[in-house]
Amino acid sequence: MAGTSTHTVTNQPPPLVGYDLFTADRALVAAVERYTGPDVLDEVRAELSALGRAAGSAQVQEWGAQANEHPPRLRTHDRYGHRIDEVDFHPAWHRLLGKGVSAGLTGAWTRPSGHVRRAAGFLLWTQAEAGNCCPLSMTHAAVPVLRTDLVLATEWEPRLTSTIYDRELRPAARKSGALFGMAMTEKQGGSDVRANTTEARPLAEAGAYALTGHKWFCSAPMSDAFLVLAQAPEGLTCFLVPRVLPDGTRNVFLLQRLKDKLGNRSNASAEVEFAGTWARRVGEEGRGVRTIIEMVAATRLDCALGSAGLMRQAVAQAVHHCAHREAFGGRLLDKPLMRNVLADLALESEAATALTLRLAAAYDDGGDQERAFLRLAVPAAKYWITKRCAPVAVEAAECLGGNGYVEESGLPRLVRESPLNSVWEGAGNVQALDVLRALQREPGALDACLTEIGRAHGADHRLDRAVKDLFTELADLSDIEGRARRLVERLALVLQGSLLARFAPPEVADAFCASRLGGDRGASFGTLPTSLDLEAVVERARPVS
């Protein structure tokens, strides 16, 4: 009939936009307040709230969508046939990356409570767009490596910790801000970097080398410089490779192709060829792994932080949808079965936030006890939190039904991104084996972890029992490698449980200990015991827009 409307939109939730991601995340706010020095707490809260408002804005969300819809393009040659080896990014990528730099996400090492405020900011900014967090992470993590060489640290650290994003390729001396990447793995070895074949030949200039070889994964190839592993005369060694040499000429940095990845589409990952490429040695010859290990540890923590951020955004979207969507006579949020699913997802998100911020606080402390704690807790957290991200993202998308399978909802991008952090910086088996090495070689690391866990002794009987089970697991070292994943999972869960028992609201700690430590749940989300206060758990996770 003429004039009759056949398309009236009803029962659809409003977009989750125009809100402060920081203040809406009660678990994150509590962790920041717990670990931030009182003299800078107001400053940090204001800073994170500003970043949270930016991340939750319609403009930044649109930039995130654009950066992924228009992935980077490789240009190996210019129109005249000259080799240029450049990557073109959509303008949205540069806006996102510039905002991340200006927010101080590479400057943790020079600020009071710097690691906690930076970790919280990284968790927030991941929710806006995860791909640009890769160069932010590597730039942040390069600082402790460069500090092994006073000359390099003096030259580069002010640029790496700068809040100025300078995207132009030019000599470092002419830049007010710089980004770092890294290239460690090769096609024949992967995580077994000691199998690398890239050769480093010493030059007449002190500390200078010429590199020849191929790198299978070079992250963020348009960065200003890279940390690279190569075989020098005395063995595997760490090197700094600048994209532009001091005289303004391009270093030999041949980009062969960009990887076509499942997710992380906005960020470029490349294969790169070195052919007489100029490099500067970092640290001693033959001690490349020991030199670069601090960078690896910092980026592993960022993998856990990134997964915590992705989980938080997935849960926020699911709870927001169910708070507004009605079915079968009422809001989805009020349906007992949906409430059970949402509460289960919320527990996973809060536990990840609690553990990652605790690790950031250990970096701020910097004492021997906390460094020992990090040696064991970082690979355990990286293993477990990144493993939980994918099932959380998938279940959250299902909470939206068919809408969650549609690109416009944003959930498919979270789903594609969710396995990434489990793979990067050493996949699950690498993390599990690293925990075993720490247990065998550094007994102080276990003592530090047990001291941390012991602070919650008596808070929950299920936690106490889980700690005893962990002791039993540690006491039997037979076929320990085959049981490594089981051991690391238990360690991570006990660490999370101890933190929630001490600091989370009682309903959150009770639900976590009952389900994750007491075993009172099924194999899928939404199988929590109904005796728990699930309504309070879900309400705590709800983003108020």
Give the three-state DSSP class for 397.
helix
Could you tell me the two tokens for 27?
């678990």
Q: How far apart are CA 488 and CA 468, in angstroms?
A: 15
Residue type, 335: K
> What is the tens place of the pLDDT at every residue in 478-502?
889 999 999 999 999 999 999 999 9
Rounded CA separation 280/471 (Å): 46
- CATH fold of 290-541 reads Butyryl-CoA Dehydrogenase, subunit A; domain 3 (1.20.140)
Instruction: Spell out where 224-345 has E strands.
Output: 225-232, 235-242, 254-258, 269-282, 326-327, 330-331
The residues of the chain that CATH labels 2.40.110.20 are 26-286
- Residue 21: what pLDDT? 98
3-state secondary structure at position 75: strand
Q: Which ranges in the chain are annotated with CATH 1.20.140.10?
A: 290-541
Which helix H or strand E contains 51, and what residues bound it? helix 41-55
What is the pLDDT at residue 545? 56
pLDDT the model gives residue 364: 97
Mean pLDDT of 86-105: 98
pTM attached to this predicted model: 0.97
Tell me the chain's radius of gyration from C-alpha atoms: 24
Average pLDDT over residues 62-69: 98
Cα–Cα distance between 251 and 205 in angstroms, integer?
16
Distance from C-alpha of 109 to C-alpha of 147, rounded to nearest angstrom:
11
| Cα separation, 418 vs 372, whole angstroms | 29
CA distance linking residue 404 with residue 384, whole number of Å: 25
**pLDDT 10s digits, 496-507:** 999 999 999 999
Q: Taking residues 311-333, what's their average pLDDT?
A: 97
What value does the mean pLDDT take over residues 344-348? 98
What is the C-alpha to C-alpha distance for residues 42 and 20, in angstroms, rounded to an integer? Answer: 16
For domain 26-286, give the CATH number: 2.40.110.20
pLDDT tops 90 at residue 458: yes
What tokens were used for 370?
């906390």
Q: Minimal CA–CA distance to 385: which of 317, 335, 325, 310? A: 310
- Go through 331-350 and write b for each residue having 16 or more CB atoms within 10 A of its CB, e for each that does not: ebbebeebbbbbbbbbbbbb
281, 238 in Cβ contact below 8 A? Answer: yes
Closest to 66 measured CA to CA, from 258, 264, 266, 268: 266
